[in-house]
Amino acid sequence: MNDSIKLLPDHVANQIAAGEVVQRPASVVKELLENAIDAESTTITLVVKDSGKTLIQVTDDGKAMTTTDARMAFERHATSKISSADDLFNLHTKGFRGEALASIAAVSHVQLKTKREEDETGTQILIEGSEVQAQDPCVCPSGTSIAIKNLFYNIPARRNFLKSDQVEQRHINDEFQRVALAHPDVAFKLVHNNNELFRLPKNNSRQRIVGVMGKKINENLVPIQEETELLKIKGFVTKPSYAKRSRGEQFFFVNNRFIKNAYLHHAITQAFDGLLKPKTHPSYFIYLDIDPKRIDINIHPTKTEIKFEDEYGIYAILRSAVKHSLGQFNVAPVLDFDRDKSLDTDYHTEKSNAKLPKVEVDRNFNPFQEQPQSQPNAFKKNSHRGQDTTWETLYSGLTDDVDFSEDSHFESKIQPDELFDDTAHQLQTFQLMRKYIVSSLSSGLILVNQHLAHERILYEQFLSQITQEAGHSQQLMFPLSLELSPKEISLLKSLKESLELTGFIFDFSKSEDGIVNIKGIPSMLIESQIYEVIDELIADFKADIPDSGFDRNNRLSMIMAKNMAIANGKLLKAEEQQDIINTLFSCKEPSVSPTNQPIFVHLGENAIEKIFNT
C-alpha cells in the first residue's frame, strides 16, 4: 500500500503562503516598505507602474545585505529579527516571520540589488517563481533596491480577481500613508506611472499628517499627550467641525505599527459624544507606546490586529485623554452661562429649610346639595367650593364664553368644500406633516413621500444626463475652492468625466497645493449643497470605484439624487406639490426609490369603504 501523505515542494508551499501574505499589490508594498524601515533607512522611494501589476520597486539607503544574506532572504522562515519563541513578545521591528520575500518571489519576477557601504560592489539576484535565475556582482549605490515585476504572472486566476487600476492604486496609497505616518523621521516619495504623488521630507508628526492629508487639516488638529505606567499616548484628533462621513482618516499606531481596533475606536467616539453631527466620524492619529511584553502582534497574517494584555485600562485612559484635550483647547462646549443675579439665593435664606405648601380642604362641601340660581356662569370669579352648587352648573354659560375665532384650531371649523376645486370638483394636493403629499385619483387617494419621490425624479434625470451627455451647468461668478487631501483629489479626478456630464466643472490646476476649484455646478444644485454633495461622493467612492461604467454612473446618480432631494419637513407650495406628482408618474419606475423603498401608498375605494365599514 502506497503512502498518501507527502511533503509539498517548496515552490508550491510558497505559493500557498503567498495566498495569505500577498493578497494584492498593496500587500507587497506594505512588506517591502516595512523591510526598508527595519533596515534603518532615512530615505525611501516607492515606484509603481500600472497600480503594481507591472512593477513595484522600493529603494532605500538603509543597511544592506551581504551576498549570503541576500540569497537567504528568499528562503522560507528566514529572518534576522528573532531567534527563539520568547523574542515574539519583545518585538521592536516590523517584519519578523521571514515569509514575506519568499511568498512574493513565488508569484512574481524579482530583481534585488544590495550593497553595503564598506563593500566595493553589490549583489544582484534574479528570481522567477521561487527559482533563482542568476546571482552576480553588480555596481549599485549603497542600500537596497528590490523590484517586483509581473505580479501573479503564474497564477492567472489571482490576477483576474484584482480590481481596476484606480482601486488597486488607492490601496497602495493607503499602505504608503500608514507607513509614512508611523515614521515622520523618514523621508518618503511615491511615484506612479512617472507621476510623483507624494514627496514627504523628514519632519515632525504634525507636519507629516499635513503632508499626507492636506493643508486644510492643520488648523483642525487638536494635540493629545498622556503618559501613565501602562502606556504613553500622543497624537492628534480633529475638531468636531472637521468630522466627515467617511472613516478614511482614522489611524492607530502601536509602537509605530498601524493597527485596527474597533474597541479603541469606540473609546474615541465616546469622547466625542454629543459633539458630532449625525452620521459623521472624527479623524484621529493616535500613537500608543506600550511595552511589547503587554501585547501580542502575532495573531493576524497581516499584523494589523493585535491583542492587548489590559485592553480595558487602555480604553479608559484613551477616552479620558481625548476628552481632556478637547476641553483643554476649548473644543468641547463649557457650561458658562450669564447668570441672572435675581435668581441667586438670598444670604439670609440660603440655609433655611423650604416651607411645605399647605393644602386646604372644605370638608363641608356636598356636590349633591342644590345651589341657588344666582350663579349664571361657572367660569366667573365666584366659584368657591363652599357655596351650594350642582354639577350641571359647572357647564352653564360654556357656549357663551368659549372663543371660536379664526385663530382657533378646531377641525370642525374646516369646511369640506375648501378641499375641492370649484371647477374640476376634484381633491387638490395638500401636504401632510410636511412629509407626505396627498392627492386624489379616479380610484381613491394616494399618499406620496416627498423626499423619496424627488429622489427618484433626480436619479432618472442625472442618469439620463450622464448617459446622453446632456447635462446642464450653471456657471459660478466666484469659483468655490475645496481643500482636499491628495487621496481625495485623485478620487475626484477618476470621477471627473462622469461628474462633468451632470453639470460640474472642475479646475485641477492647483491640485498640487491641495486645492480644487469648482467653476460650474448642475442646474438643479443649490450652491449651499456643494460641499455636502462632494463630501458624500468622496465618502461613498472611497471604499470602491466600480469597474463598469454603468455601475459607476448609477451609483453617482444615486448619491447626488439622495443629497439634493427635497428633505422631509420642508413646506411645499401647491404648485410644487403638483409638479412632484406629475413628474413622478412620468418616470420609468415611479413606485420605488433608487434604493428600492416604496414611494407612495394607494388607498383605493374598497380600502376607504372598509375603514368606515360601509
What does residue 63 show for φ and ψ, rounded to 5 degrees?
-65, 130
On whether both 229 and 170 belong to a single domain, the answer is no
What is the per-residue pLDDT for 150? Answer: 92
**Residue 385 confidence (pLDDT):** 45
Residues 255-286 pLDDT 10s: 998 998 899 999 999 999 888 888 788 999 99
Mean pLDDT score, 412-437: 57
Domain-located, residue 388: no
pLDDT digits (tens, 9 = 90+) for 210-257: 999 888 888 889 999 999 998 999 999 999 888 887 777 899 999 998
How would you label 217-256 residue by residue, b for 16+ Cβ within 10 Å and e otherwise?
beebbbebebeeebbebbbbbbbbebbbbbebbbbbbbbb
d(CA 341, CA 69): 80
Q: Which one, of 215, 241, 195, 247, lies nearest residue 485 by Cα?
A: 215
DSSP string of 417-479, one letter each residue: GGGB-TTT--BPPEEETTTEEEEEETTEEEEEEHHHHHHHHHHHHHHHHHHHT---EEEEEEE
Percent of the residues in the chain that have a pLDDT greater than 70, as a whole number: 78
How confident is the model at residue 348, as a pLDDT?
52
DSSP 592: B
Using pLDDT thresholds of 50, 70 and 90, give the confidence band for residue 1. Answer: low
Most confident range (mean pLDDT) of 91-105, 373-387, 404-418, 499-513 is: 499-513
pLDDT at residue 202, as a whole number: 94
User: Is there a single domain that holds both residue 78 and residue 163?
Assistant: yes
Helical H runs in 183-240? 205-213
Residue 370 grid cell: 342644590
Same domain, 309 and 447: no
Confirm if 275 and 240 have CB atoms less than 8 A apart. yes
Q: Do residues 46 and 68 both lie within one domain?
A: yes
pLDDT digits (tens, 9 = 90+) for 354-380: 677 777 777 777 777 765 554 444 444
> pLDDT of 479-489, one tens digit each?
888 888 877 88
Please choose, from the candidates 257, 238, 235, the residue with its C-alpha nearest in 3D space to the C-alpha of residue 248: 238
Which of residues 293, 328, 363 is at a domain's end? 328
CATH code assigned at 102: 3.30.565.10
Q: How far is CA 355 from the centre of its chain?
A: 56
Q: Is the pTM of this model over 0.85?
A: no
Q: What is the pLDDT of residue 423?
A: 40
Same domain, 230 and 187: no
The pLDDT of residue 45: 95
Let me know: does 44 contact 187? Beta carbons within 8 Å.
yes
Bridge-based pairing state of the strands 250-254 and 284-290: parallel
Q: Where is mean pLDDT largest: 20-29, 45-54, 78-87, 151-160? A: 45-54
Average pLDDT, the chain: 80
Please give the pLDDT value at position 316.
93
What CATH number does residue 548 fall under? 3.30.1540.20
- Report phi then psi at 304, rounded to 5: -95, -5
Same domain, 66 and 85: yes
Total of domains in the chain: 3
Q: Are 87 and 177 contained in the same domain?
A: yes
Q: What is the pLDDT of residues 337-355, one digit of tens each?
A: 454 555 555 545 555 666 7
Q: Are residues 196 and 215 in the same domain?
A: no
Same domain for 142 and 267? no
